[in-house]
Chain A
């Protein structure tokens, strides 16, 4: 870990991990995805009956 390049890589990897989570939340929060999950749930409930 004394290698500064490894330290910089770790910072980059943590940024990448955080960005992945944030962009995924943004992706799922948009209305069309909420509609899709509702639609899928309604379909599953209808067919489970």
Chain B
């Protein structure tokens, strides 16, 4: 714990100093967001560097590398001249009752999320499937890439977000604060919204109002207490958009704006493949302005962008032969890299049909009002403020800008064009799923600035309407976040907080069939008290629960690709002995039993002289089985 505190404080010092240099004046709160982005960049770089040098992750190497990078950042940044950025005068000062309730609600949401993330266990489907699997395998000494896992996304998906989560796990050696990068990113996102509002010349009250609206977007409020990666990616990408606009419009010290833009874009690109279509219009924007860009600025942008953004794609290309493995890569109808059909991924065929479906369905989701906030998280995530305040605000602000054409508006038009065309590119590359809008949480964040623009220009009493609407919708988001945080109703939190940390597990939460199976398994007293477990499961099973909250069990997750072929028959027993596996969990859902290695495992587990079946339970389409080594078999092994 001491190491976590010391290394965190030391590694934040360099980013804080650099953030002061990038934002010497104007909205000084923006330094907080920038510190988070730079610090996350340092964590990712030090994670990659220390793991590549040592071959595995270790707490001291990770911490020391981060501190050294932070120190280098502290020393290398020259003192920057103080600069006063122009702030336009407030059209009309906001009244306290118009601003403080909304700020109070945003603060309440963030405080509740901090409490909830401390109490609640790792519980999100994607995380249990592959993100926490990645962290768990790194914690037990596996290398950065190239480890074995039945969740193929855990060894092929870009992993900047998981490196940030590892930082909060590796020092205290538990997963208690694995959600903190998301929570910090929610604050950074709100702060960046305030910065953009201040850049647009809005008064301070409107900047805070916009920042609070961004936090009170349901997907942001709810995800801030979870171990997803959408907020990490969104905050970084929003930073890239905002600092690219500052850079290209000549706001602030330009080289450092370029550095911040590159760090944000690289961090986002190395965390999620959905950033690829979003960042293409941004790179085109840079290309269009290429003549105005100096070489030093371009270098300041390119170095952090390439260092943070490309490592995992290059590694995939070298190791697996496809930078976007297991997805296909097609450009203008030409297939550059094939999909791995054996992995059973859904066909992601880019094209206009996808775009048409998105354009038809997304607006319906935006204006569909018969949903509670949890449903909004899954189906649109933007909440009631999007149709009520944000989207109409964008239209009004755009019309105002059309009527008052001024040169200083150009960079905001470019920003809006980049965000809109990025969204079209994203939509044309992904088939419709109700989860898609969590990939675009920068849209409500940017739209909050337009809403704040309209709000602060509303005449006198008319301003009360949007202020009341925002507070009412904020109460709804705040209340729903507290009473029914995604997969964690309040009753569960009050129950879990009384338990010691070790017992606050996903199984105790019991919110999915698999969680209930694990819960019954733990309650049956048959749960293997083992230190080394093999988990046989399909690719999408929630297997990371096997690690335990203190990563107390070593887990082997046989990869389907390595469990086929003639040599796979002998592999099962060889690996069992090499890894000293003394228990096997089978999540019998979509396990490819016809592969040679799995068939051998199935036959072996039916041998009573080697294995005792200690648990079997079926729920829905899932069956959970637990086997322990038979006593004589264990003696023979010794």
Contact = CB atoms under 8 A, between A and B. Distances in A.
Given A13-B458, A17-B465, A43-B490, A27 B372 contact: no
A21 interface: yes
B372 A23 contact: no
Interface string B380-422: 0000100111001100100110011000000000000000000
A33 B372 CA distance: 6
A18 B461 CA distance: 12
Interface stretch (B438-446, B476-484, B554-562, B575-583): B476-484
B392, B404, B468: residue with the most chain A Cβ atoms closer than 10 Å? B392
A32 B370 contact: yes
Contact of A5 (B389, B404, B470, B483): B404
Contacts of A9: 396, 399-400, 403, 457
Contacts of B466: 16-17, 20-21
Interface string B435-468: 0000000000000000000100111001101101
Contacts of A18: 465
B371 interface: yes
A34 to B, nearest CB: 10
Contacts of B454: 13, 16
A23 B375 CA distance: 18
Contacts, number: 94
B388 A39 contact: no
Given A12-B396, A16-B393, A17-B462, A27 B369 contact: yes
A10 B404 contact: no
B473 interface: yes
Contact of B396 (A13, A27, A35): A13
A19 B388 contact: yes
A8 B401 CA distance: 12
A3 B239 CA distance: 36
Interface in A1-49: 5, 8-10, 12-14, 16-21, 23-24, 26-28, 30-33, 35-37, 39-40, 43, 47
A8 B403 contact: yes
Secondary structure call for the A interface: helix
Given A16-B392, A36-B480, A24 B384 contact: yes
B388 A43 contact: no
A27 B466 CA distance: 14
B372 A20 contact: no
Contacts of B396: 9, 12-13, 16
Nearest to B367: A23
A12, A23, A35, A47 pick with most chain B CB within 10 angstroms: A23
Contact of B369 (A17, A21, A26): A26
Nearest to A27: B384
A35 to B, nearest CB: 8
Nearest to B490: A43
11 contacts: A8-B403, A9-B403, A13-B457, A14-B458, A23-B384, A23-B469, A27-B369, A35-B372, A39-B483, A43-B483, A43-B491
Given A19-B388, A21-B465, 19 more contacts: A5-B403, A10-B459, A12-B400, A16-B392, A16-B396, A16-B458, A17-B465, A19-B392, A20-B388, A23-B469, A24-B388, A24-B468, A24-B472, A27-B473, A28-B384, A30-B371, A32-B370, A36-B479, A37-B479
Interface of B: 369-373, 375, 384, 387-389, 392-393, 396, 399-400, 403-404, 454, 457-459, 462-463, 465-466, 468-470, 472-473, 476, 479-480, 482-484, 490-491, 494
7 smallest beta-carbon distances between A and B, as pairs: A23-B388, A27-B384, A17-B465, A24-B469, A20-B469, A5-B403, A32-B372
